[in-house]
């Protein structure tokens, strides 16, 4: 898989690309991630990539030209261009699995007041990470890329993915480690006795009960 991210703040990605699972996935050639500063593509002699909105209003709006020209250098027939915007569909685990099947993802990170509306004409998908506003698309692009990359074959063990939260619209089961008793709180006896069938039954039941209590909306989706 190849991921290209268009941003005005490339240094924000240094830690993201050089730590933990993402770093190993890149080193093992599971994914290539390129960060593009689209300010370098502007035709403005002062390096500006934004301008005041027609009709007036607060803030500055990202211009078409730098983003279009940057896309022209990296987009191919295999590319899926994604605009990160509050107008988009809310990202979830199902979307992560769908996007991991794509060969080439391009994320456009907005900033300032927003995008020139015409930039949407070169986008294939519009994604939001929730009903709240952040200062730009950089953090959302990292979150979404992380969720996708960790699903790639070889990034982590398949066993780790099998019972994760949101698999089959259920949260993950509770887990424990040593010591068996800590500040009066004990590990459930069923996890100690070595009966794998009972452990599996306990965990399946716990996933359902946990989801009903904490995320009943997921149970409603599962029933539908």
Whether the per-residue pLDDT at 182 is higher than 90: the answer is: yes
CATH code where residue 34 lies: 3.40.1280.10
Let me know if residue 157 belongs to a domain: no
Produce one character per residue of 99-120: b if its CB has 16 or more CB atoms within 10 Å, e if not.
bbebebbbbbbbbeebbbeebe
Last residue of a domain, one of 120, 149, 178: 149
pLDDT of 124 over the 70 cut: yes
Average pLDDT over residues 161-173: 78
Residue where a domain stops, chosen among 149, 182, 206? 149
Residues 103 and 181 in one domain: no
Its sign, for the CA torsion 121, 127, 132, 138, is: negative
- Domain tally, the chain: 2
Instruction: Report pLDDT for 192.
Output: 95
CATH of the domain at 204: 1.10.1270.20
Mean of pLDDT values over 180-197: 95
pLDDT at position 59, please?
A: 87
**Claim to verify: residue 82 and residue 34 sit in the same structural domain:** yes
Neighbour tally for 63: CB within 10 Å:
19
Same-domain check for residues 130 and 21: yes
Q: Identify which of 64, 63, 62, 60 has the alpha carbon closest to the alpha carbon of residue 72.
A: 64
Within-domain flag for 158: no
Q: What is the pLDDT of residues 56-77, one digit of tens each?
A: 888 899 999 999 999 999 999 9
Residue 53 lies in a domain: yes
Nearest to 211 by CA among 202, 200, 220: 220
What is the phi-psi region of residue 168: left when phi exceeds 0, alpha when psi lies from -120 to 50, beta otherwise?
Answer: left
Res 224: pLDDT: 61
What pLDDT score does 157 carry? 82
In a shared domain, residues 202 and 123: no
Closest by Cα among 9, 8, 35 to 22: 35
Same domain, 51 and 114: yes
Same structural domain, 143 and 168: no
For 172, the domain range is: 163-223
Strand partners, 104: 2, 79
- Kindly state the DSSP code that residue 167 receives in the 8-state scheme: B
Which pLDDT does position 158 carry in this prediction? 76
- Domain shared by 171 and 70, yes or no: no
């Amino acid at each position: 898989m190849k991921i290209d991210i268009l941003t005005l703040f490339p240094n924000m990605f240094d830690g993201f690309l050089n730590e933990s699972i993402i770093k190993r996935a890149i080193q093992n050639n599971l994914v290539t991630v390129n960060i593009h500063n689209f300010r370098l593509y502007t035709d403005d002699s002062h390096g500006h990539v934004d301008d005041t909105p027609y009709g007036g209003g607060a803030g500055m709006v990202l211009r078409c030209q730098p983003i279009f020209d940057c896309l022209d250098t990296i987009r191919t027939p295999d590319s899926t261009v994604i605009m990160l915007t509050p107008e988009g569909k809310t990202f979830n685990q199902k979307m992560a699995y769908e996007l991991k099947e794509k060969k080439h993802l391009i994320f456009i990170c907005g900033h300032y007041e927003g995008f020139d509306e015409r930039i949407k004409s070169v986008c294939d998908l519009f994604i939001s990470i929730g009903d709240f506003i952040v200062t730009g698309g950089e953090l959302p692009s990292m979150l979404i890329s992380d969720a996708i990359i960790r699903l790639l074959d070889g990034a982590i063990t398949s066993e780790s993915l099998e019972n994760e939260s949101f698999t089959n619209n259920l949260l993950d089961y509770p887990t424990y480690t040593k010591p068996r008793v800590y500040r009066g709180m004990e590990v459930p006896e069923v996890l100690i006795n070595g009966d794998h069938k009972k452990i599996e039954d306990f965990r399946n039941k716990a996933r359902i009960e946990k989801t009903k209590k904490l995320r009943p909306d997921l149970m409603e989706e599962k029933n539908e």
